[in-house]
A and B are shown apart, each in its own frame.
Chain A
Amino acid sequence: MPLDTSSAYPLALLRVDGRRWNDLRRLHAAVRTQAAADGSAYLEMGNTKVMCTVTGPSEENKRRTAASTATGNTGGAGGGAGAGGAEVAVEIVVGGFSSVDRKRRGRGDKRIHELQTTLSKALAAALHTHLYPRSTIALSLHVLSQDGSLLAALLNASTLALVDAGIPMSDLPVACTAGLTSAASAADDPLVDLNAQEEQELPFLTLATLGDTDRVMVLVLETRVQAARLKDMVDLAADACKSVHKSLREVVRRRGEHMVEEGAVEKGASMAMDMDIDV
């Protein structure tokens, strides 16, 4: 049995997987992984691996009513509809093979439902949904492997897929987690980007910001933590979001360069996604 965070960290300021308190895990992402979809992305944060495809925005009225009635049955969540804007429908499928124990998660799973709602609300706020009245933007997310920071990975993958689909947004929504080593020891550092083992041991929160601004879009904290230490965690998570933002932009930029090379777009053509990439 390897050591746990609370016993190992005070010894050498190392986390269970050899990271320091402010190290993110390896972040690997690819855009347009499924050519058939309107937009798609694949993202890994350490061993957490998720896939996202976007369909839409589509304007079929029939389908929309079907989708919203199906919302109740299938557990998909919609947000941002009404007021003439597009609805963001999110559906998450967690592979039975994604965690250590093979577990079949039903569609009615409360936790999945909650993730869906959180995502769809957050995305609806970042996307310019008012440009697509009476339509639906459907996101389908597949979790292939779970190793902590699931919500953050899902949101980051959605962002990339939405960019790929060419849906206008005010900035890239990005997310990351932050935790706190046990308050009992002297070295109670905040930690960034927790893996599954750390999530089980420590209090943690998931924070999403809009681009590299400090505008918080999502803040989920389900564990108990001392109020005094919350600020440190939020600060660190916000900071980590900036790093994640940088990574995602780089992924997008490389995708853009690739498309230019392929000749899919003319250099300098004012494609929405190429507009302000200057890194």
Chain B
Amino acid sequence: MTSLRRPRDAEPNITNKVYIRSTKSGKVQKIVREVYLRDDIPCSSKLCTICPLKAPRSASGAMMPFVLSEKPAGTKEYPQGHYLVPDTNALLNAMDLFEESSAFYDVVILQTVLEELRNRSLPLYNRLIGLVKSEDKRFYVFFNEFRWETHVARDPDETINDRNDRAVRRAVSWYNKHLADNKGNITVLMLSDDKGNLEKAKSENVPATTLRDYVSGLPEADRLLDMIAESQERGISRDKKFAEFLYPEYYSMSKMMTGVKNGTLHQGIFNVSPYNYLEGSIKVPAFPKALLILGRDNINRAIDGDVVVVEVLPQDQWKEPSTKIIEEEAITKNENADGEEGGDIVTESERRALQEKVKKAQGLSTEGRPQPTARVVGAIKRNWRQYVGHVDQSSVSNAAKHGRKQESVFLIPMDKKVPKIRMRTRQAGELLGKRILVTIDSWDRESRHPVGHFVRSLGELETKAAETEALLLEYDVQYRPFPKTVLDCLPRDGHDWRVPASTDDPGWKDREDLRGLLICSIDPPGCQDIDDALHARPLPNGNFEVGVHIADVSHFVKPNNAMDTEASIRGTTVYLVDKRIDMLPMLLGTDLCSLKPYVERYAFSVLWELNEAADIVSVRFTKSVIKSREAFSYEQAQLRIDDNSQQDDLTNSMRTLLMLSKKLKQKRMDAGALSLSSPEVKVQMESETSDPIDVKTKELLDTNSLVEEFMLLANISVAGKIYDAFPQTAILRRHAAPPKTNFDELANQLKVKKGFELRFDSSKALAESLDACTDPQEPFLNTLVRIMATRCMMSAEYFCAGTQAYPEFRHYGLASEIYTHFTSPIRRYADLVAHRQLAAAIDYEPMHPAVRSRSRLEAVCKNINVRHRNAQLAGRASIAYYVGQSLRGRDAVEEDGFVLRVFSNGFVVLVPRFGVEGLIRLRDLADPEPESVFDPETYTLRTSGSREVLVELFMKVRVRVRDVKDEGTGKRGAGMELVG
């Protein structure tokens, strides 16, 4: 190892980079950085004979492999093959294109471009880094700013953009010359859409072309052309026409920042109401209730999920939340995608829909009091992702269905909260009736709708493959197969892996031998990834020893290897009706880690001594080896416990567990734990074709709660232990008490309609008042109220102990002071982290730095919170899809339903039998649409005229459920019709 001294004659090769930046707090800083110019930065072409001699080596002597192929693909113009050098705009506009597997290989990414891209868009930068890392795409980052031939100093009066363009051209011309020196005839081609840059390139004899021209020369040009972002074409023709501005201009960043700082503006995440696309809300710290944002003007190009800055409107413009259902496709049905974007943004019909609200604002009631409204004045961060949807049939002209003419069409996203997206395509005919994936590129002031571009087609609407993939994309579930680097982390022996026979093996180090215990697992039928197993046995002193044994995943998944990284990104296993998307490769999840019966497995055990009253006498944690005696399903376990003729030790230990679990549950309930509810159903599939045949509501047995109680107990015990050991970094789970205002509406509804009083000052009070909400006539009412109460709750979240004060750790729903997730490491990443921390806490192994760094854990928590939520939503959406499918082709069934919500022009009905909610609009009731009177104070809707009905909140109604295809979203779902 030698360190290199810079030779004195190398001094001309040092230059300083000076730039000025402003910090978040508005300070302006002048930064001076040294830049050492060198001549040993390789071109990375396999053809090159010069560079390998000088190529750098790492401290361990390894050389970076050369990336660019010696025989790159060519086009007509460059038959000898070419390397591509995109500029920043090309990447900004068409990253999807570069990710395409049919073209775009051998690409040189310049450092100038990479840095600029990072400044412009971090997500795109990350995608690009992903491309560079994937070996098959052959992307190479060339650090042109550090090579003395290609370094470019900024001239006085030169803009930074011009300098960067010049740097790109200089690098491209160097590359061409360098390859020519190597006797190669490969062209290095600059891809740019900047007219000025292209002209200069031409005059300097640098090979360059526009992205569009380049793509046109490729096979499959039509499909690929669609993937270039819309804004790029506009970039060229921008000055041509003076567009009229439809939306108010956004404030400048500094104006927004100052405003937020001194409290005149507010920052928050923009949410759209699922029932009304023109109504959004935003929760800001300054107000207890969310601010309303009404109408296109005020929403001002914000899309659900964006981080925006809003300004509160004067009090005379305050309104009450809408009591009307407004659906985008119903109102803007006839818009022409190609049409001129002139005129007012608020169309006549939209205005009429909004008028209603202004009228309403006069009639005051406790509930209907006008709420503060706000308007969006700027976006801090767009949270645009890729959206799944389908092309609006009516926006496609007849000619385009056959021809190859490019035209604008509307894409209607599956997510109703996202406005329709305008995109230009040459393949409109082919895309009709398909599920397609699009990206939003921009939303300019002069465009009524956001503008996007096509990414790829998932397949025919309503085919299982397309719909499942759509669902996974929509909830951002990583469903691709595990890459090779991950599979390489698996044990070599594969399925033949066994717990080592000899207890001297390093795997046995510090493990307790619990193979002699009568351990069994209880799971849903057909469960393959068995996370947990239990045992209980009496102790001589009359107490019980109870053990919860959790699959020892952390033994197989070591911190910071590829598998761990992948799992931390996936965050959780996602369960769909017909599919499971694993967090860990199958081999681990369903075999090596899974606590299968009759075989020895590594486990992480929590062992308590409990007395007769189920109080904890002592607890200890240990890594162990266990051998499960049996894997029961809930039903089997229940049957065996109930069967008095079975008197073997295993059954008796289960009875002990059941006895203790009931006491534990009682204690928890006494402490104020809530039993909440969500409508859960299970789809039964035909075993051969896996077509759904029936829908059943889930049944809960005693054994379900047996397992649940002990898992809760284990989680709580572990939470205490890791918090003791690592008060800053322990990974915990909290459930914040819901703000009181969340319950205002429900409490009022219950009071007005049913005369119940809902108290919500503590979880115990809430639990008790929920228990009191019963109607002897209608047993389901209590469940209904619980379902509605659940929706008022905050969602539980993972966090790092150091980020919150101890009182904030509380889990509201479980009424526990401290809580974590420990019991399902096969399917949740948080549990895996907890395992590692617990292992360190009991001195089993030293803590890996990754599990110790607080900032890293915070990032992990943030990710798994999102993943966890998305997994739940995806699971529910999958059930909804299959419920729709199971109704398909069948006669309409009549079922009981309950009114969940009443609007002035419709109402929402929940059908417990299928666990689905459906919207019934007035215009669905009869034709012509009946007259109606809506009383928001008593939550009643009375119709007259063509059909007379009275609809009240919580009312039991008879509905006919049949399957309908929602023209708007293209989803098949349960449609409802009021009977009687």
Contact = CB atoms under 8 A, between A and B. Distances in A.
Interface of A: 1-3, 7-8, 11-14, 16-27, 46-47, 100-101, 147, 183-184, 187, 189-190, 192-193, 195, 197, 224, 226, 232, 235-236, 239-240, 242-243, 246-247
Nearest to A20: B56
A16 B56 CA distance: 15
12 contacts: A11-B141, A11-B143, A13-B58, A17-B34, A18-B146, A19-B36, A24-B3, A26-B11, A47-B16, A47-B34, A187-B58, A239-B2
Contact of A239 (B3, B58, B111): B3
A38 B17 CA distance: 37
Contacts of A226: 849
B489 to A, nearest CB: 13
Indicate the member of B4, B35, B60 with the most A CB atoms within 10 Å.
Answer: B4
B32 interface: yes
A189 B59 contact: yes
B5 A17 contact: no
Contacts of A242: 3
Nearest to A13: B56
A13 B64 contact: yes
B5 A246 contact: yes
Interface string B12-40: 00101100010000010111111111100
Given A26-B14, A224-B849, A17 B35 contact: yes
A247 B119 CA distance: 39
Interface string B43-81: 000000000000011111010100000000000000000
Nearest to A184: B560
Contacts of A21: 58-59
Contacts of A239: 1-3
B58 A11 contact: no
B710 to A, nearest CB: 36
A257 B21 CA distance: 46
Given A100-B31, A235-B1, 16 more contacts: A1-B21, A12-B41, A12-B143, A17-B34, A18-B146, A21-B58, A23-B3, A24-B4, A25-B6, A25-B36, A27-B6, A184-B850, A197-B33, A226-B849, A239-B1, A246-B5
B724 interface: no
Contacts of B36: 17-19, 23, 25
A278 B33 CA distance: 36
B129 interface: yes
Contacts of A14: 41, 56, 143, 146
Contacts of B29: 100-101
Q: Which 6 A-B pairs have the closest CB atoms?
A: A18-B146, A189-B59, A18-B36, A240-B3, A243-B5, A22-B3
B114 A3 contact: yes
B659 to A, nearest CB: 49
B145 interface: yes
Nearest to B31: A100
Contacts of B146: 14, 18
A11 B1 contact: no
B3 A11 contact: no
B461 to A, nearest CB: 41
B614 interface: no
Contacts of A1: 21, 115, 118-119
B54 to A, nearest CB: 11
Contacts of A27: 5-6
B132 interface: yes
A190 B143 contact: no
Contacts of B41: 12, 14
A236 B7 CA distance: 19
B118 A22 contact: no
B27 A101 contact: yes
B43 to A, nearest CB: 12
Contacts of A11: 132, 141, 143
Interface of B: 1-6, 10-11, 14, 16-17, 21, 27, 29-38, 41, 56-60, 62, 64, 111, 114-115, 118-119, 129, 132, 141-143, 145-146, 560, 849-850
Given A12-B143, A100-B30, A192 B3 contact: yes
Contacts of A101: 27, 29
Nearest to B116: A1
A1 B11 CA distance: 26
Contacts of A232: 59
B3 A236 contact: yes
Contacts of A236: 1, 3, 59
Contacts of A224: 849
A233 B60 CA distance: 13
Nearest to B147: A18
Contacts of B35: 17-18
A195 B60 CA distance: 22
A3 B115 contact: yes
A253 B759 CA distance: 87
A8 B11 CA distance: 24
A152 to B, nearest CB: 13
Indicate the member of A14, A24, A243 with the most B CB atoms within 10 Å.
Answer: A14
B64 A12 contact: yes
A239 B115 CA distance: 33
Nearest to B6: A26
A2 B33 contact: yes
B59 A190 contact: yes
A7 B1 CA distance: 24
Contacts of B119: 1
Contact of A189 (B3, B58, B850): B58
A224 B29 CA distance: 29
A183 B560 CA distance: 9
A172 to B, nearest CB: 15
Contacts of B850: 184
Contacts of A24: 3-6
Contacts of B32: 47, 147
A46 B5 CA distance: 13
B543 to A, nearest CB: 43
A17 B37 CA distance: 9
Contact of A18 (B38, B59, B849): B38
A23 B6 contact: yes
Contacts of B114: 3
A49 to B, nearest CB: 11
Contacts of B129: 7
A47 B34 CA distance: 7
Contacts of B56: 12-14, 20
Nearest to A9: B58
Contacts of A189: 58-60
Contacts of A22: 1-4, 59
B15 to A, nearest CB: 10
A26 B7 CA distance: 9
A236 B37 CA distance: 23
A243 to B, nearest CB: 4
A180 B11 CA distance: 26
Nearest to B63: A13
Contact of B141 (A12, A46, A147, A190): A12
Contacts of B849: 183, 224, 226
Indicate the member of A17, A195, A232 with the most B CB atoms within 10 Å.
Answer: A17
A17 B6 CA distance: 14
Contacts of A8: 143
A147 to B, nearest CB: 8
Contacts of A100: 29-31
A79 B38 CA distance: 44
Contacts of B11: 26
Indicate the member of A19, A27, A190, A242 with the most B CB atoms within 10 Å.
Answer: A19
A247 B27 contact: no
Contacts of B62: 187
B34 A195 contact: yes
Contacts of B111: 3
